[in-house]
Structure 1
Amino acid sequence: MKRAVLAVCALTLAAAACAPGSSAPPATSAPAAQPSAAKTDPSKLGDVTLTVWDQEVRGGQNAQMTTLNTAFQAKYPNIKIKRVSRSFDDLNTTLRLALSGNEPPDVVQANNGRPQMGAFVKAGQLRPLDAYADAYGWKKRFSPSVLQYVSYSTDGKIFGEGSLYGMPQVGEVVGILYNKAKLTKLGLQPPKTWPEFEDALAKAKAAGETPMQLGNLDKWPAIHVFGTVQGQHVPKDQIATLGFGRKGASWTTPENTKAAQNLVDWVTKGYFSKGFNGQGYDPAWQAFGKGEGVFLIGGSWLIADLEKSMNQDLGFLLPPGGVATGGTGLPFSITAKSPHPDAAAAYLDFITNADAMKTLTANGLLPIADTDQQTVKPGPQQDMFTAFGTAAKNDGLVPYLDYATPTFADTLGAALQDLLAQKATPQEFLATLEKDYKTFADKNG
């Protein structure tokens, strides 16, 4: 996974979060039509070859894809999978050209954000999946807080609602990682409420510990921290509206001001590691893994690496209240020009069904559905599964804030550095965000 807020494509997660980019959108064409009647028996579709482009190239990612493809072809011998596996960066580079050609792949992994999936939807290059979602029951299996990440209006302008244009396999969630041994030494239990969490930070500081590790040199890590704080003060529907860059919300509200001030208060009280704005992301979480710090706000994608160094001392919990920044890995979409949409939909269903979720778990990945039904050993991985499963089931996932506009990742990252350095007040910080968000939302319609 790509360890940045520009990652849903990785949370975890692991999937890399899908952040806006600067590539120009393809020429617009008519949206792909829905099938008149979805055919859900692959064995009756005749001999079919499906060309599938994915970026599941790393260890467990590649293993699960290989396993599922083999199982699908064994169950439906009339359908052959021609798999083309590319790195995340290579896929992003080549996919735009492939979709504009006369013979694009049948199934592709497309980055959720506006520069890719949104642009492809606008150009009519991806097929809306609502008819298949109804036929296969996807809207019942996956929570609305998950499906919003693969939903667009047919003109590609509105992200987070509308028709479905992809199906994800893996999930991501940003939570609170903690050192169990240090909490025990401080006489504390894992916090269940926000006041308990802030009390733990204060007691850690008083005991001479580093309350929270943070490495914000690359600017994006503080977005995860702010998103967690924001979830305590701002209604989740407002966060979703802001995060998806839709009209109807504002950054300059009393609730967002309170969240920004909460973050500044942590700086004033010395809760972050020293020199956090000049420390890199990797050195920060690696220091946490070596016992430096009681807490770390980060994504589920850190679990595997941190568990190697901390073992059972590592804990992971959902932010109090159950609202958490999160998302999905790169979803699988059906291209508009595919001559085999029914077979492609059957494939999407197969690689995201209950058995597929077990395969993902067996290969160390975080399944997007049935998370609470997986069998994993007690410890950090189980904590992560519980946190994500709870958030997804209760519609507690809110979008990565950099989704808001094509330029918001840079705007928010820089503004947070200034806020944390106390070079900008909470009001000035929010005014900067409001300008970028409102300019885009008004223009986007």
Structure 2
Amino acid sequence: MALTARARYRSALRGFTAAVVIAGISVGCGDSNNRDGAVQPGLDAAEGGRYVLEVWTSENGTRLQLVQQRADQFSIAHPDVKVNFTIRDFGSYPAQLKLALASDRPPDVVIGNLGWSLDGPLIKAGLLRALDPWAARYGWDKRFPEVAQRQMRFTTDGKQFGRGAIFGIPYAADVIGWFYNVGKLKALNIGVPATLGDLEAALETARRAGEVPIMLGNKAQWPGLHLFYLVSNDLASDREINGIVFGDRSVQWTAASFVASARKLAQWNAKGYIAPGVNSMTPEAALAKFVRGAGVFLPTGSWNAAELSGAMEDNVAFFLTPPVRKGDPSRATGSVGYGWHTTTASRHADLAAEFIDFMTQEAFAIQLAAVGDISPIDLGDRAPRMPSRLAGEIFAAWQSVLANGTLLPYLDFSAPNGAEVLYPTMQSIIAGHETPEQGLALIEESRKKFLDSL
């Protein structure tokens, strides 16, 4: 996934989510209260002797090509079914999806986005169908590791993320970690860090050598939060991170572990570990500089792997944030991506579920891995040959967090207003304009208001 597209999508999702939460959405056809997966008799009758599945997606690039190829295979296996794709760019997708779902001819299958970024408001508005009846039929509740399944669930009233019914079935995934310049690490006589202490020592060595230790562009504000993830993965507990995301009020942003994580970022910036002008540099510019040889480490997500590998070949590699104690399994922030959903108003719910099952089977996960992408399925020794060394490193890292149960959700899944509070406040903390205690208290106050509004 291109970084620019992801950035546009995040911005659009935030605006759309706010509109949905404030105004709500009415369903143009179908029963908005029908959230238990039941299908009214007779509504799955084929039109003109052929079923037509209307599918909406905002994928692009290689993933889109694979999705369309897989859908073609579904149509070949089901000659009486036509799959009609509507493809929208990331920036316009949320608003246009809202209009489509409220129209007289809503789509049958759509992709969403996890947590309160998109799925939550749509579920709360009654626009997406709970998939538990089909989950049992197709084994979706067993296909994916337990650590991934929590990201697939919402209560049917749309008020609690992480438990309740299965609403979205994922097909691809992403994970955040550290890319590094292989040649520079070798020239600095630095090994791949095995502990958080090793990583900080490497940052200091790079700084003393006149290098930019961490290449980061935080003008868009959310990349700084991703850097926060990489530190809090080590300093905060699973209970604390999951508690923030899944609405546990006994956990707060002001916890000592989150304060320590934010303070470390501010210290790294003050010591010169983070690129100069970080908050005025775009993530695209930071990526381009890293490709051209500036910076030793680049903290970002697996969606940048193809571009980095294509430009730098074997001079770029990847690792997850190393643990505090050597030998412990690494923990990492990542997601099971955009899930496939069946809309409440679809007249072809059973067929839509069969399509979703086909699109999320292990065969598709293997196709993704073969081009250097990752999926929510733990492939183990069934994985194909990787197209590059970098792809192999990312795949191995991803499989390790699935196998070890150490995958952690994005903290910004916890509320829909990241653009207004979470992102700019973290940017201010990194810059030293606000203390960690002050900034995190502001974020917690905003989170509490959101939870109270549910």
**Separation in structure 2 between the aligned mates of residue 363 and residue 8 of structure 1, nearest angstrom:** 24
1:343-397 Cα deviation digits (max 9, x unpaired)? 2111111111011112223445332324552320441111111122222333322
Q: Which residue of 2 aligns with 1:299?
A: 301
User: Residues 309 and 388 of structure 2 are in contact (CA less than 8 Å); yes or no, is this contact kept in structure 1?
Assistant: no
Q: Which residue of 1 aligns with 2:55?
A: 52
> Could you state the TM-score of these two structures normalised by the residue count of structure 2?
0.87
**Separation in structure 2 between the aligned mates of residue 214 and residue 102 of structure 1, nearest angstrom:** 45
**Separation in structure 2 between the aligned mates of residue 391 and residue 183 of structure 1, nearest angstrom:** 25
Q: Which residue of 2 aligns with 1:168?
A: 170
User: Residues 245 and 437 of structure 1 are in contact (CA less than 8 Å); yes or no, is this contact kept in structure 2?
Assistant: no
1:216 to partner: Cα distance? 1.3
**Separation in structure 2 between the aligned mates of residue 311 and residue 370 of structure 1, nearest angstrom:** 26
Q: Which residue of 1 aligns with 2:203?
A: 201
| 1:425 maps to 2:450 | no
Task: From the superposition, tell whether residues 23 and 150 of structure 1 become closer, same or farther in structure 2 (CA, over 3 Å).
Answer: farther
Q: Which residue of 2 aligns with 1:26?
A: 25
User: Residues 116 and 414 of structure 2 are in contact (CA less than 8 Å); yes or no, is this contact kept in structure 1?
Assistant: no
User: Residues 129 and 165 of structure 1 are in contact (CA less than 8 Å); yes or no, is this contact kept in structure 2?
Assistant: yes
Residue 368 (structure 2) aligned to one of 357, 360, 363? 360
1:239-291 Cα deviation digits (max 9, x unpaired)? 12213444231111111121112112212221111221222211112111111
Matches within 5 A, 1:134-153: 134-153=136-155
One-letter identity of the residue aligned with 1:415: T
Residue 272 (structure 1) aligned to one of 271, 274, 283? 274
Q: Tell me which moved more, 254-263 or 109-118.
A: 109-118
Q: Which residue of 1 aligns with 2:44?
A: none
Where do 5+ consecutive residues of structure 1 fail to align?
A: 11-15, 37-45
User: Residues 18 and 112 of structure 1 are in contact (CA less than 8 Å); yes or no, is this contact kept in structure 2?
Assistant: no
| 1:158 maps to 2:163 | no
SS of 2:298's equivalent? Answer: strand
**Separation in structure 2 between the aligned mates of residue 5 and residue 73 of structure 1, nearest angstrom:** 29
Q: Tell me which moved more, 61-70 or 75-84.
A: 75-84
One-letter identity of the residue aligned with 2:375: P
Residue 74 (structure 1) aligned to one of 73, 76, 79? 76
**Separation in structure 1 between the aligned mates of residue 4 and residue 415 of structure 2, nearest angstrom:** 17
**Separation in structure 1 between the aligned mates of residue 12 and residue 182 of structure 2, nearest angstrom:** 28
State percent identity of aligned pairs: 33
Q: Which residue of 2 aligns with 1:131?
A: 133
**Separation in structure 1 between the aligned mates of residue 400 and residue 13 of structure 2, nearest angstrom:** 22
Q: Tell me which moved more, 107-116 or 192-201.
A: 107-116
Q: Which residue of 2 aligns with 1:3?
A: 3
> Could you state the TM-score of these two structures normalised by the residue count of structure 1?
0.89
**Separation in structure 2 between the aligned mates of residue 3 and residue 374 of structure 1, nearest angstrom:** 26
**Separation in structure 1 between the aligned mates of residue 411 and residue 4 of structure 2, nearest angstrom:** 12
Q: Which residue of 1 aligns with 2:183?
A: 181
Task: From the superposition, tell whether residues 18 and 330 of structure 1 become closer, same or farther in structure 2 (CA, over 3 Å).
Answer: farther
Q: Which residue of 1 aligns with 2:218?
A: 216
User: Residues 114 and 413 of structure 2 are in contact (CA less than 8 Å); yes or no, is this contact kept in structure 1?
Assistant: no
Task: From the superposition, tell whether residues 31 and 195 of structure 1 become closer, same or farther in structure 2 (CA, over 3 Å).
Answer: farther
**Separation in structure 1 between the aligned mates of residue 407 and residue 172 of structure 2, nearest angstrom:** 14
**Separation in structure 1 between the aligned mates of residue 63 and residue 114 of structure 2, nearest angstrom:** 18
Residue 249 (structure 1) aligned to one of 248, 251, 259? 251
**Separation in structure 1 between the aligned mates of residue 8 and residue 139 of structure 2, nearest angstrom:** 24
1:85 to partner: Cα distance? 2.5
Task: From the superposition, tell whether residues 86 and 414 of structure 1 become closer, same or farther in structure 2 (CA, over 3 Å).
Answer: closer
| 1:344 maps to 2:357 | no
User: Residues 52 and 106 of structure 1 are in contact (CA less than 8 Å); yes or no, is this contact kept in structure 2?
Assistant: yes
SS of 1:156's equivalent? Answer: coil
Task: From the superposition, tell whether residues 385 and 196 of structure 1 become closer, same or farther in structure 2 (CA, over 3 Å).
Answer: same
User: Residues 245 and 440 of structure 1 are in contact (CA less than 8 Å); yes or no, is this contact kept in structure 2?
Assistant: no
